Amino acid sequence: SWTPTSFAEESIKELKEKLGDDKVIMGLSGGVDSSVAATLIHHAIGKNLYCIFVDNGLLRKNEFEEVLESYKGLGLNVIGVDAREQFYTALEGLTDPEAKRKAIGKTFIDVFDAESHKVEGAAWLGQGTIYPDVIESVSVKGPSVTIKSHHNVGGLPDFMKLKVVEPLRLLFKDGVREVGKSLNIPDNILGRHPFPGPGLAIRILGDITVDKVKILQEVDAIFINALKDSGLYDKVWQAGAMLLPVQSVGVMGDERTYEKVVALRAVTSVDGMTADWAHLPYEFLADVSNEIINRVKGVNRVVYDISSKPPATIEWE
Q: Which residues are annotated as a binding site for ATP?
A: 29-35
**Residue 194 binds ligand XMP, judged by CB under 6 A:** yes
Q: Quick one: which of 250, 255, 254 has its CA closest to 298?
A: 250
Run of H or E including 299: strand 299-304
Min CB(197)–ligand XMP separation in Å: 3
Concatenated DSSP letters of 27-51: EE-SSHHHHHHHHHHHHHHGGGEEE
Interacting residues with ligand XMP between 246 and 275 (CB under 6 A):
272
Nearer to ligand XMP among residue 44 and residue 243 (C-beta): 243
- Asked whether the beta carbons of 121 and 76 are under 8 A apart, the reply is no
Task: Indicate the SS3 state at residue 121.
Answer: coil
Number of neighbouring beta carbons within 10 Å of residue 256: 10
Cα→Cα distances 159→19, 133, 309, Å? 17, 20, 36
Contact present, 243 and 292 (Cβ < 8 Å): no
197 lines the binding site for ligand XMP (CB under 6 A): yes
34 lies in the binding site for ligand XMP (CB under 6 A):
no
Report residue 103: phi and psi, to 5°: -60, -40
Q: Which of 310, 273, 241 is nearest to 144 (CA)?
A: 273
Positions in 273-312 near ligand XMP (CB under 6 A): 309
188 lies in the site for ligand XMP, by CB under 6 A: no
Q: Which residues are annotated as a binding site?
A: 29-35
Closest approach, Cβ 121 to ligand XMP, in A, equals: 30
Task: Work out how close the CB of 97 gets to ligand XMP at its nearest, in angstroms, rounded to a whole number.
Answer: 9
State in angstroms the smallest separation of the CB of 220 from ligand XMP.
13
Q: Is 30 in the site for ligand XMP (CB under 6 A)?
A: no
CB 220 within 8 Å of CB 61: yes
Stretch that binds ligand XMP, among 81-89, 122-130, 193-201, 289-297 (CB under 6 A): 193-201
101 touching ligand XMP, by CB under 6 A: yes
Tell me the closest approach of the beta carbon of residue 199 to ligand XMP, in angstroms: 9
Judged by CB under 6 A, the stretch of 8-16, 56-64, 168-176, 192-200 that binds ligand XMP is: 192-200
Binding-residue total with ligand XMP (CB under 6 A)? 15
97 in contact with ligand XMP (CB under 6 A) = no
In whole angstroms, the minimum distance from the beta carbon of 255 to ligand XMP comes to 37
Query: Is residue 198 a contact point for ligand XMP (CB under 6 A)?
Result: yes
Beta bridge partners of 124: 24, 163
The helix, strand and coil proportions of the chain, stated in percent and rounded to the nearest 5, come to: 45, 20, 30
Rounded to whole angstroms, the Cα distance separating 293 from 241 reads 13
- For ligand XMP, which is the closer residue by CB, 167 or 198? 198
- Dist. CA 9–CA 7, nearest whole Å: 6
Regarding 27 and contact with ligand XMP (CB under 6 A), the answer is no
Among positions 204-243, residues that touch ligand XMP (CB under 6 A) are 238
What's the CA gap between 26 and 232, in Å, rounded? 33
By CB under 6 A, is residue 154 in contact with ligand XMP? no
Point out which residues bind ligand XMP (CB under 6 A): 101, 144, 147-148, 151, 194, 196-198, 238, 272, 309, 313-315
